[in-house]
Amino acid sequence: MRTFFKLFSFVLALGFVFNSCKNPADNLNILVDADIIKYKATFILSTSDGTAIPNDITVTATGTDAGSIYDFSGSKKIYAPAGVATIGVAPSGVPKGSTKLNFNVVIKATGFLDKNLPVSIEQDQFSQIIKVTLLRATTPSPASSVVVAEVGLGTDGKTTTSTTISTPVTGTVTETTSITVPAGVQFKGADGTILSGGNLSAQAVNFDPTDPAALALFPGGKLSAPNITTPGGTTGSAVFLPAGFTDIQMFVGGVEVKNFTTPINIGVQLDPTYKPQSSGQLLKAGDKLAVYSYQVSTGQFKYEGLANVALDASNKLAASFTTDHLTVFIVGDVVSTASCTEPNVTFIAPWLTGGATRTVNVEISNNDGKVLATSEVLLKDGLADKFRGLPPIPVRYRIIDVTTSTVLASGSIADPCAGGNLSITVGQPGGPAIQNVTLVLNVVCPNKGPVTPPNFDMFYKTAGAAESAYVLLGTANQGLIKTSLLKVGSTYDFRVTWKNETKRVNNRTITDLDMSTTVGEGLNLGTNTASNRALLIEACKSLN
Amino acid sequence: MKRRFTILICAVLMLVGVRVNAQTDSTAVDSTKRSIYYISAHAATQGLGLEFKYSPLAKFNFRAGFSILPLKTDGVYSIKANSTDINLKAEFSNAHLMADWHPFLDKQNFASKLILTAGAAYFWQAKGDAIITYNGTSYYGEIPVTSEDLGELYGSVKWNKVAPYAGFGFENAFPKHKFNLGFALGAYYMGKPDVTLTGTKLLTKSNQNEEQLRKNMSGYRFLPVLQINFNYSLN
């Protein structure tokens, strides 16, 4: 870019050639701002059983607009250090007008079920926080129960007797899923060939649809989906209201089973407090509920048929159906949202002064108190957002402070598909007086000078607390975070991820409301100078 | 020095392809036939213009006129691997008053044509603007960033409106023909320029270069003038 200046100066100085003055381009540096990515989504991963995030996570973007999706560092490969994956939209692919950006994010890790998350980004939806719970198929969680079983097969790969496998009743999951494989069934792989092996390895996960934690385990990570194939064959956006759902996998000789030569029977016990949309009354024997399937590899939901609701051998309401393939099965109502207009929401929180933020959960439930959606939001005064992916039924909302778990605002919406504008005044959390602490990170790149760092998410925890205690502090916008989550006089650990790097600043005491600092060669490079200098130089290289 | 001027004039004459033998051959001075009023068109590094020249005495002329230099160009320049669009606009427009003195009019050689000039101009336009954009793709990591997304740099240099002038030239004080040629070489003192540099979109941080560019340009205070006059005698 220095050549720009040379050429510019040359022409401007054309009439001044006799001056023999200083080169106009001397010591000039063209500085390209680093906040190139304006639209981002942050995936914060956790595990269903509370174990540490695995190190072998792979994250890929697929689907229609995946070409515009990059890691926030600018690479096509998406990283997830410390279980945080931040993706960004290339400037050339940002959503414009009413056209949304639609793609899927596929997350895989050894020992966990694959996640395929549909993501939609619309104009001015600059930042999203998406919490993802990785489910270990062989370990129960408070919202799920698991069965793992081995069934002996005949020499021809056939079951020799009728076998039933059931998930257990646990302290928190009181409903079960039962799979009955008749005798004489053979198993097929993805290519349709009969699988051979001495044993059938079966594992099933039954989810408690009444547990809000099960929302994160629902296929796609939420009850709404953009691509549900309805009984009529059309595909569009809709919301699930599940009475039960289950994930079943089988393997023969280490190869995953996809189909059977003879249909198998599945019984899914249902939420007894469930009210079908058709009647509005409690579920009862004799009702019929739809069964949908979900293919993780494609992220596609598909209508399978109607199931009869009846009392099973345990005297619990269950939906029984047969299937010739394995997948995730969902039993319940599906409400189309294809013609929905999402309501605009403005959050009023004047106690968050000067653009300060605070992490809150927005929880949406139906009138029976069943949670339909939750999302983590960086609240700030005047924040404009939308309530997305809600069914056209009366709902209630609660704004819950993540730090204190107190409800800061609540209300109801008669029809969240009818559009309109909603203003929510968010109360101030109780306890100590709110302090809005400013952190400003200025970056001076070697041989480039001051640059605007890209927006990045910062996590924090009380100094010395366990790694799992890290929570989102906020998004540094052009290097600036102003937050109400920190207290002057308290000591914290901070964590930032960039590309495949995790940068930690531990045991840092907040001494002032303004904790601005400048990082750069010859300036502050922290305690691990050599490592930080290398990180700085590497990050600055991307600014070409 | 004389030889240098001769070479310079010869070169210019070859360039414009004009015969000036008649003028340069003038050896006999007939002051009774001297013209007093001229109208003159000129082409110069400061632009194109017109002048009215009043010559009350053989040794002195007074000139009043104007010059306009409207230079505007769009160019695509390939610099190394990067192609650059530069939209340039230079505007120098002035009204000026000049006084000429023939110090060696009584000489019988080429020195008799030498004139020394002093004067001043009011520049109602004295600035240069440039809009610079990448004509290509930059990269943030692997993300292509088009020139449109990258933004533009606007550079602007402005000089004083009033500028003194000093110079010299060659002109026949007693031309034999209605048309004659003259040449001038000099400079306006424009003062220290005012420089602004503004970046848009991802180039806004480049504004920080403005002070450095101002320092670099602070020495560019003289506008040289190389001028050819096409004089027409009005009497």
Cβ neighbours of residue A298 under 8 Å, at least 6 residues apart? A116
Cβ neighbours of residue A280 under 8 Å, at least 6 residues apart? none
Which residue on chain B is closest to A3 by alpha carbon? B79
B177 bridge partner residues? none
pLDDT digits (tens, 9 = 90+) for B112-126: 889 999 999 999 998
Cβ neighbours of residue B24 under 8 Å, at least 6 residues apart? B110, B113, B172
pLDDT level of residue B9 (50, 70, 90 thresholds): very low
Mutation target vs B (from A3, A11, A22, A445; most B CBs, 10 A cutoff): A11
pLDDT digits (tens, 9 = 90+) for A284-295: 999 999 999 998
Least confident window among A167-181, A391-405, A423-437: A423-437
Please report residues of A whose CB lies closer than 8 A to that of B92.
Answer: 15
- The percent of residues above 90 in pLDDT, for chain A, comes to 65
pLDDT digits (tens, 9 = 90+) for B177-234: 889 999 999 999 999 999 998 988 888 877 777 888 888 888 888 888 999 999 998 8
Give the closest residue to B126 by CA, choosing from B71, B197, B87. Answer: B71
A174 vs B: CB within 8 A: no
pLDDT at A486 over 80: yes
pLDDT level of residue A15 (50, 70, 90 thresholds): very low
Please report residues of B whose CB lies closer than 8 A to that of A76.
Answer: 142
Of B144, B202, B220, the CB nearest to A16: B220
The C-alpha atoms of residue A477 and residue A460 are separated, in whole angstroms, by: 17
A309 bridge partner residues? A319
Of B149, B205, B212, the CB nearest to A28: B212
pLDDT at A520 over 70: no
A13/B220 CB distance under 8 A:
yes
Looking at per-residue pLDDT, the higher value among A455 and A330 belongs to: A330
Locus of tokens 């701002």: A33
A412 bridge partner residues? A396
State the average pLDDT over residues A414-433. Answer: 93
- The answer to whether A270 and A291 have CB atoms below 8 angstroms apart is no
Of B46, B141, B219, the CB nearest to A70: B141
Report CA-CA distances (Å) from A430 to A359, A438, B108: 15, 21, 103
B52 vs A: CB within 8 A: no
Cβ neighbours of residue A196 under 8 Å, at least 6 residues apart? A156, A157, A252, A253
Report CA-CA distances (Å) from A104 to A65, A227, A351: 9, 11, 37
**pLDDT given for residue A20 in this prediction:** 44
Please report residues of A whose CB lies closer than 8 A to that of B155.
Answer: 8, 12
Of A5, A74, A450, the CB nearest to B142: A74
From the number of C-beta atoms within 10 Å of its C-beta (0-12, 13-18, 19+), residue A232 rates as: exposed
Please report residues of B whose CB lies closer than 8 A to that of A14.
Answer: 90
- The answer to whether A100 and A128 have CB atoms below 8 angstroms apart is no
Report CA-CA distances (Å) from A275 to A206, A269, A270, A501, B33: 20, 15, 11, 48, 117
Cβ neighbours of residue A491 under 8 Å, at least 6 residues apart? A462, A463, A507, A508, A509, A510
Minimal Cα–Cα distance from A111 to chain B, Å? 31
A9/B132 CB distance under 8 A:
no
- The answer to whether A76 and A70 have CB atoms below 8 angstroms apart is yes
DSSP letters for A294-305: EETTTTEEEEEE
B78 vs A: CB within 8 A: no
Please report residues of A whose CB lies closer than 8 A to that of B206.
Answer: 29-31
**pLDDT given for residue A246 in this prediction:** 96
Please report residues of A whose CB lies closer than 8 A to that of B153.
Answer: 4, 30
Of B79, B142, B221, the CB nearest to A76: B142
Q: Mean pLDDT across chain B, nearest whole number?
A: 79
- The answer to whether A118 and A220 have CB atoms below 8 angstroms apart is yes
B143 vs A: CB within 8 A: yes
DSSP SS3 for A269: strand
A30 vs B: CB within 8 A: yes
pLDDT digits (tens, 9 = 90+) for A367-405: 999 999 999 999 999 999 999 999 999 999 999 999 999
Cα torsion A283, A284, A289, A294 to 10°: value is 60
B52 bridge partner residues? B39, B64
Please report residues of B whose CB lies closer than 8 A to that of A88.
Answer: 143
**pLDDT given for residue B128 in this prediction:** 85
The C-alpha atoms of residue B23 and residue B233 are separated, in whole angstroms, by: 14
B46/A25 CB distance under 8 A:
no
The C-alpha atoms of residue A488 and residue A476 are separated, in whole angstroms, by: 19
B43 vs A: CB within 8 A: no
B213/A450 CB distance under 8 A:
no
Minimal Cα–Cα distance from A26 to chain B, Å? 7
| First and final C-alpha spacing in chain B | 35
Give me the residues of A, 57-76, that contact B with CB < 8 A: 70-71, 73-76
Give the closest residue to A513 by CA, choosing from A437, A439, A441, A440. Answer: A437
Locus of tokens 């848009």: B200
A7 vs B: CB within 8 A: yes
pLDDT digits (tens, 9 = 90+) for B21-63: 333 334 444 556 678 899 999 999 888 999 999 999 888 999 9
Please report residues of B whose CB lies closer than 8 A to that of A90.
Answer: 143-144
Question: Can you say whether the dihedral through the CA atoms of A523, A526, A530, A531 is positive or negative?
Answer: negative
A91 vs B: CB within 8 A: yes
Please report residues of A whose CB lies closer than 8 A to that of B213.
Answer: 5, 24, 28
**pLDDT given for residue A62 in this prediction:** 95
Minimal Cα–Cα distance from B32 to chain A, Å? 40
B143/A91 CB distance under 8 A:
yes
A36/B149 CB distance under 8 A:
yes
The C-alpha atoms of residue B199 and residue B208 are separated, in whole angstroms, by: 10
pLDDT level of residue A532 (50, 70, 90 thresholds): low
A36 vs B: CB within 8 A: yes
pLDDT level of residue A245 (50, 70, 90 thresholds): very high
The C-alpha atoms of residue A84 and residue A90 are separated, in whole angstroms, by: 19
Of A7, A73, A90, the CB nearest to B86: A7
Helix (H) or strand (E) holding A97: none
Give me the residues of B, 12-41, that contact A with CB < 8 A: none
- The percent of residues above 90 in pLDDT, for chain B, comes to 37
Q: At CA B217, angle to CA B213 and CA B221, rounded to 5?
A: 160
DSSP letters for A55-90: S--EEEEESTTGGGEEETTS-SSBP-GGGEEEEEE-
> Mind listing the domains of chain A with CATH numbers?
1-30 (no CATH), 33-136 (2.60.40.1120), 144-336 (2.60.220), 340-431 (2.60.40.1120), 437-541 (2.60.40)
Cβ neighbours of residue A192 under 8 Å, at least 6 residues apart? A259
pLDDT level of residue B6 (50, 70, 90 thresholds): very low
> Mind listing the domains of chain B with CATH numbers?
38-233 (2.40.160.170)
- The answer to whether A34 and A453 have CB atoms below 8 angstroms apart is yes
* Model ipTM value: 0.74
**pLDDT given for residue A343 in this prediction:** 95
Q: How many residue pairs from chains A and B have C-beta atoms closer than 8 A?
A: 142
Give the closest residue to A495 by CA, choosing from A16, A2, A51, A53. Answer: A53
A36/B132 CB distance under 8 A:
no
A30/B46 CB distance under 8 A:
no
The C-alpha atoms of residue A168 and residue A541 are separated, in whole angstroms, by: 55
- The answer to whether B69 and B124 have CB atoms below 8 angstroms apart is no
pLDDT level of residue B15 (50, 70, 90 thresholds): very low
Of A4, A12, A35, the CB nearest to B84: A4
Which residue on chain A is closest to B131 by alpha carbon? A8
Token representation of residue A201: 């390895």
**pLDDT given for residue A70 in this prediction:** 96
Minimal Cα–Cα distance from A122 to chain B, Å? 19
B68 vs A: CB within 8 A: no
**pLDDT given for residue B7 in this prediction:** 35
Spell out the SS3 assignment of A487-522. Answer: CCCCEEEEEEEECCEEEEEEEEECCCCECCEEEECC
